[in-house]
A and B are shown apart, each in its own frame.
Chain A
Amino acid sequence: GAGVSQSPSNKVTEKGKDVELRCDPISGHTALYWYRQSLGQGLEFLIYFQGNSAPDKSGLPSDRFSAERTGGSVSTLTIQRTQQEDSAVYLCASSLRREGPEQYFGPGTRLTVT
């Protein structure tokens, strides 16, 4: 079956603009994660969705970042008033349940803020 997909694969935006990144998890996976991977850094947890529960937003770096998951499937990560330090690869992962154990990653969206 299809894996996790993300779009766009690349996004170049001007500083101050808003961007939306999309994630389509594997069908039936109830858990969805967003991560950020900056150059030379490890992956950084951003936000976690589990079924209909309130999302764990503890990793969001500022209130410019938000995410939603509609219908327990597709998720959108929105970054408002982008800054150059937001430039990174944004990865989405899904798993069958909270504990996983397996998280399946999408290919990521490379965001460049100029």
Chain B
Amino acid sequence: KNQVEQSPQSLIILEGKNCTLQCNYTVSPFSNLRWYKQDTGRGPVSLTIMTFSENTKSNGRYTATLDADTKQSSLHITASQLSDSASYICVVVLNTGTASKLTFGTGTRLQVTL
């Protein structure tokens, strides 16, 4: 069982609409939780990074929330644009003392349509 579960697997929304992507994790204790955006054929690009003490972090139209008690995070996208079409990956980072171990979710594939 993956230690980082994302839902939904895929999502189609109309341009201008909002959406929320979910991430549940079992990795603990963790150093930080990250959301990445991965365009097709490209490497992931960081959107937000939150430590366990942070509840929310925004980056433009992207807002990530974190509930360390329930081990859940969400990424909210406001006023979606066609360019938001991509895979969104939740990553939990564990510092082991010798390296940072990243555990990746399988991602949510978002398609924004006209």
Binding site for B on A (CB under 8 A): 4, 31, 33, 35, 40-45, 48, 50, 53, 56, 91, 93, 98-103, 105-108
Contact = CB atoms under 8 A, between A and B. Distances in A.
Contacts, number: 54
B106 interface: yes
Contacts of A53: 98
Given A91-B44, A103-B46, 12 more contacts: A4-B43, A35-B104, A42-B2, A42-B4, A43-B104, A99-B100, A101-B49, A102-B49, A105-B44, A107-B42, A107-B43, A108-B42
A99 B97 CA distance: 10
Given A56-B99, A99-B95, A42 B104 contact: yes
Interface string B35-70: 000000111111001000000000000000000000
